[in-house]
Amino acid sequence: MNETKTQELFQVVEEMRPQIITFLQSLVQIPSENPPGNYVEICDFLEKGLTELGFEVQVISVPDGLTQAAGLSTPRKNVVAILRGSGGGRNLIFNSHLDTVPAGDPAQWDYPPFSGAIANGRIYGRGATDSKGRLSAYIMAAVALAKTDIARKGDVIIAATCDEETGGILGAGYINQNGHVHGDMVIVEGYSNHIVRAMAGVLQLKIVTEGIPAHAGYKWKGLNAVEKMAKVVQGLEKLQEELEGEPSSIPGMKYTTVNIGTIQGGTKVNVVPASCEIEVDFRVIPEHSLDSLYGRVEAILQSLELEDPTFKAKLTRITDFQTEPTITDENSPLISELQQAVQEVTGRTLPVVGILAQADTRWFIQNGIPGINFGPGTSENSIHGFNECMEIEDLIQTTKILTVLTKNIVG
């Protein structure tokens, strides 16, 4: 009986192939680059389209006061759409974001970045994978199940949220913190070649060394802040070596990374620099905490002060985007049920890994909703690069997997 139902779902998805492709093309053709974050048109499209597909749709506007306080020039909007079940079952959330990174120079693209062009078995355009391809698969999986006579007790919730590319505070963060989304589990944007159950924490620090300006010809009258910062950089390099010796137990996560992303110092080549500033990004494995990493950097600076009485440095956190590592237990029923759906469609299972990146999963986990990352596309799809694309067969196969998963959870 179950096999018959699964085959029925496969057939429905295949029949929906043109609809799935067209839907993704339509999303790609609506620019939603962030910055600046233009959400009105894509939210209007989803409100109309999802209502026609049978969802109860709510467009949630973030209060102007919050967007203004965040220094944002355009309105922030999120879409929550529910396909109701009969009641008494488990409710499944699918979350994908509405924003994309900027397309960059259109001349560098083989096809216009907002064309949704089809070539070589792929759909091209900014967001084709990240993350409009995922959103299309999530929506169409729910629609495919609704086209059958398979009973649905639980609800399927689509949470299409803003600002993931800039931290998600007014997107998935806002709807979770303000009670706009409820469910028993969530699937968040991810790749089709593995299941992600853990994501790195993010700690970003600013370090400023102080000096005394002087004419380069009288260098001894000054204090060179850039040379002082060189000692800090050496200390951070040594910290990275230590962290490489403290690897994560989760496949794919390697170890906590230290990246000195920016450096600024001095005003002119013939002036002893009075200050130097670096910004440092840590991707933190679950075995470490943000506070422990902060403490280790603090210890480096304290050690340098003891060695050199003229050394002065200021350490601060960059607070716009910080989060502790997020993790879902490897024995979570959500993972086993997704593996079962993958097995039914492909005859195999997928690696379960962690990655040194972040996504909106953390907002749901903080809200008490277990979450993992999975969806169509892979890292080979030029995500954030020119010629971003989605393999059509990957899109269709992953939609089948998600449809089976949805049946198994809300049925």
Q: For the domain that residue 351 is a member of, what is the CATH number?
A: 3.40.630.10
Residue 1 pLDDT > 70: no
- Residues 192 and 171 both lie in one domain: yes
H-assigned helices in 207-265? 225-244
- Residues 294 and 387 both lie in one domain: no
Q: Using CA of residue 176, residue 180, residue 185, residue 191, what is the dihedral sign?
A: negative
- Tens digits of per-residue pLDDT, 238-273? 999 999 999 999 999 999 999 999 999 999 999 999
- Residues 195 and 205 both lie in one domain: no
- Residues 194 and 205 both lie in one domain: no
- Residues 15 and 109 both lie in one domain: yes
- Residues 150 and 288 both lie in one domain: no
Three-class DSSP category at 134: helix
Long-range contacts of 177-182 (CB under 8 A, 24+ apart): 177/363, 177/367, 180/58, 180/60, 180/78, 180/80, 181/80, 181/93, 181/157, 181/364, 181/367, 182/91, 182/157
Cβ atoms of 133 and 402 closer than 8 Å: no
Domain count, the chain: 2
- Please say which residue of 284, 317, 350 terminates a domain: 317
Residues with Cβ < 8 Å from 91, sequence gap 6 or more?
Answer: 85, 154, 155, 156, 157, 182, 183, 184, 410
Range(s) of the domain holding residue 220 = 201-317
- Residues 221 and 336 both lie in one domain: no
- Please say which residue of 317, 343, 364 terminates a domain: 317
- Tens digits of per-residue pLDDT, 384-409? 999 999 999 999 999 999 999 999 99
- Residues 109 and 256 both lie in one domain: no
- Residues 303 and 384 both lie in one domain: no
Helix (H) or strand (E) holding 207: strand 201-210
- Residues 84 and 173 both lie in one domain: yes
- Please say which residue of 299, 317, 335 terminates a domain: 317
Report the pLDDT averaged over residues 83-98: 97
- Residues 98 and 235 both lie in one domain: no
pLDDT averaged over every residue in the chain = 97
Confidence bin at 44 (pLDDT 50/70/90): very high
Q: For the domain that residue 283 is a member of, what is the CATH number?
A: 3.30.70.360
H-assigned helices in 57-153? 64-69, 132-146
Q: For the whole prediction, is pTM greater than 0.85? A: yes
- Tens digits of per-residue pLDDT, 280-319? 999 999 999 999 999 999 999 999 999 999 999 999 999 8
- Residues 313 and 293 both lie in one domain: yes
